[in-house]
């Protein structure tokens, strides 16, 4: 008797032919794919999914008034799929924020396609930016804002890291040409999306008020830049291996666009250096001298040679720009791989340059309000710290302080 059951159990090993299974799968998927486009999920789509998870009777239960109250109570107590929905609008610091992040991770976990996972990571990165904008616009106090923005920015960088990892996967995957092409399409779309995010961050004035917030945002933007460089890297690599169809013009265009982006960034940082670092540098050197005469002289001399008082950092605009020019010329010669290498170096240097300048600005901003060196030289001088940075070129006022 037992033998019978054992033998029956062994029948589990009966399987169809592997090649038939595979072939049939392809045929099946081809047949069903040809039956119509994939519908994008909408709000009602999500609602339907949740309905699928929930026993049928529950939906009717909800229609009744006391059903609504019960659900509201559940929101507060937190249980299951409904909490996930409620957490969607939360920001760092909220109780449900961890639920939000977890549900995002679950979504990624349930996704099978690598391309779709990548798209999800980008969506979630965007959501972090939404949160940051919301926090910046709110009326909570500065310390709290800093904290929350920092959390959101860190999570943002994590999401982009995941995107970069998936780019690496694309690089190393060997697959059919059309599969690779689709992956490259995703890479391009990601590049555009993160570019748009960078623009949002740059244009948001409310993010520029506090130094710590600016630092968080800058590190987020640096991560974006890295992602974009990686995107180009993947595209060039695949092209080089002959795995994608891209005209050489398109490729050159892509790399050129990146070169321009990095160039713009270098220019922007140099501009900041000129206006915020140089001028404050001059003023600092002015107030530190002891004798009134030398103050005069310093003001005059620094006025005529303000560019010489700029401290040249190892990571500076010239070096970064030089590398960029090299990248450009290599590109013109058709040497894509080396052009990309130079581009990467330039981008890295530009990032360091930006960090250095940012640091200098912070130091100067914190140094200026507290020191009052002029009062050492003359007891009658009253200096208004807040106005110092603006006063640099107004010699008469400087003279009157003596």
Partner 1 sequence: MTSHSLKEKYLLYKVRYQHDAGAYGLLYDAYVDKIFRFVLYKVSSVEDAEDITAEVFLKSWQFIRTTNKRVSNLNALLYRIARNAVIDYYRQKKRQDLPLTDEDQYRDIVDSRDVERDIDLKLEVKNIERALDRIKDDYREVIILRYVEDMSINEIASIINKSKSNVRVLLHRAIKRIQEILSE
Q: Which residues bind to partner 1, rule: CB under 8 A? A: 1, 3-5, 7-18, 20-21, 24-25, 27-29, 31-33, 35-41, 45, 48-49, 51-53, 56, 110, 112-113
Residue closer to partner 1, measured from CB, 111 or 375? 111
Residue closer to partner 1, measured from CB, 63 or 312? 63
Of residues 269, 197, 240, the one with CA closest to residue 341? 240
Given a contact cutoff of 8 angstroms between Cβ atoms, the answer to whether 75 and 86 are in contact is yes
Residue closer to partner 1, measured from CB, 115 or 286? 115
Measured between alpha carbons, how far apart are the two ends of the chain, in Å? Answer: 112
Minimum separation from the CB atom of position 56 to partner 1 (A): 7
Residue closer to partner 1, measured from CB, 27 or 73? 27
Given a contact cutoff of 8 angstroms between Cβ atoms, the answer to whether 273 and 357 are in contact is yes
CA 269, CA 320: separation in Å to the nearest integer?
11
**Token representation of residue 196:** 């748009």
Minimum separation from the CB atom of position 368 to partner 1 (A): 57
Of residues 151, 119, 121, 124, the one with CA closest to residue 135? 151
Of residues 272, 261, 398, 252, the one with CA closest to residue 334? 252
Given a contact cutoff of 8 angstroms between Cβ atoms, the answer to whether 154 and 129 are in contact is no
Please, what is the angle between helix 336-370 and helix 248-272, to 10°? 20
Residue 110 neighbours by CB under 8 Å, 6+ apart? none
Minimum separation from the CB atom of position 354 to partner 1 (A): 42
CB atoms within 10 A of CB 40: 6
CA dihedral 60, 65, 70, 76 (to 10 degrees): 120
Residue closer to partner 1, measured from CB, 17 or 174? 17
CA 38, CA 151: separation in Å to the nearest integer?
36
CA 254, CA 320: separation in Å to the nearest integer?
20
Residue closer to partner 1, measured from CB, 4 or 312? 4
Given a contact cutoff of 8 angstroms between Cβ atoms, the answer to whether 157 and 220 are in contact is yes
Given a contact cutoff of 8 angstroms between Cβ atoms, the answer to whether 253 and 189 are in contact is no
Given a contact cutoff of 8 angstroms between Cβ atoms, the answer to whether 100 and 88 are in contact is yes
**Token representation of residue 218:** 């800058």
Minimum separation from the CB atom of position 6 to partner 1 (A): 8
CB atoms within 10 A of CB 3: 7
Residue closer to partner 1, measured from CB, 110 or 312? 110
Residue closer to partner 1, measured from CB, 115 or 228? 115
Minimum separation from the CB atom of position 110 to partner 1 (A): 5
Helix (H/G/I), strand (E/B), else coil: 91: coil
Minimum separation from the CB atom of position 23 to partner 1 (A): 10
Residue closer to partner 1, measured from CB, 14 or 312? 14
CB atoms within 10 A of CB 88: 13
Residue closer to partner 1, measured from CB, 183 or 346? 183
């Amino acid at each position: 008797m037992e033998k019978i059951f054992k033998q029956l159990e062994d029948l589990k090993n009966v399987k169809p032919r592997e090649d038939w299974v595979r072939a049939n799968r392809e045929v099946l998927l081809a047949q069903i794919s040809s039956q119509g486009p994939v519908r994008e999920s909408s709000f009602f789509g999500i609602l339907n999914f949740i309905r699928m998870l929930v026993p049928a009777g529950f939906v009717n239960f909800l229609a009744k008034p006391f059903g609504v109250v019960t659900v509201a109570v559940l929101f507060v107590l937190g249980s299951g799929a409904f909490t996930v929905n409620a957490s969607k609008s939360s920001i760092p610091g909220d109780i449900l924020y961890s639920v939000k992040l977890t549900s995002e991770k679950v979504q990624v976990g349930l996704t099978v396609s690598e391309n779709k996972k990548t798209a999800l990571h980008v969506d979630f990165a965007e959501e972090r930016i939404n949160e940051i904008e919301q926090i910046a616009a709110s009326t909570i106090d500065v310390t709290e804002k800093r904290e929350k923005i920092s959390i959101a920015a860190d999570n943002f960088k994590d999401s982009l890291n995941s995107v970069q990892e998936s780019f690496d996967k694309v690089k190393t995957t060997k697959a059919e040409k059309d599969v690779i092409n689709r992956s490259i399409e995703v890479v391009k779309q990601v590049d555009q999306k993160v570019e748009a995010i960078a623009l949002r961050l740059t244009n948001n004035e409310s993010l520029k008020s506090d130094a710590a917030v600016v630092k968080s945002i800058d590190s987020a933007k640096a991560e974006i830049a890295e992602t974009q460089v990686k995107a180009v890297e993947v595209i060039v690599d695949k092209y080089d291996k002959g795995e994608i169809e891209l005209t050489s013009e398109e490729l050159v265009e892509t790399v050129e666009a990146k070169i321009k982006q990095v160039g713009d960034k270098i220019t922007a940082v140099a501009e900041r250096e000129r206006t915020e670092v140089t001028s404050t540098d001059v003023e600092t050197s002015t107030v530190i001298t002891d004798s009134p005469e030398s103050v005069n002289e310093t003001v005059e001399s620094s006025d005529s040679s303000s560019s010489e008082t700029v401290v040249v950092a190892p990571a500076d605009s010239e070096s970064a720009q030089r590398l960029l020019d090299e990248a450009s010329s290599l590109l013109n010669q058709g040497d894509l791989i080396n052009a990309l290498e130079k581009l990467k170096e330039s981008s890295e240097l530009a990032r360091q340059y930006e960090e250095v300048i940012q640091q200098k600005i912070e130091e100067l901003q914190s140094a200026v309000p507290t020191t009052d060196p002029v009062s050492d030289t003359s007891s009658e001088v009253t200096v208004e710290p807040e106005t110092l940075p603006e006063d640099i070129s107004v010699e008469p006022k400087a003279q009157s302080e003596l």
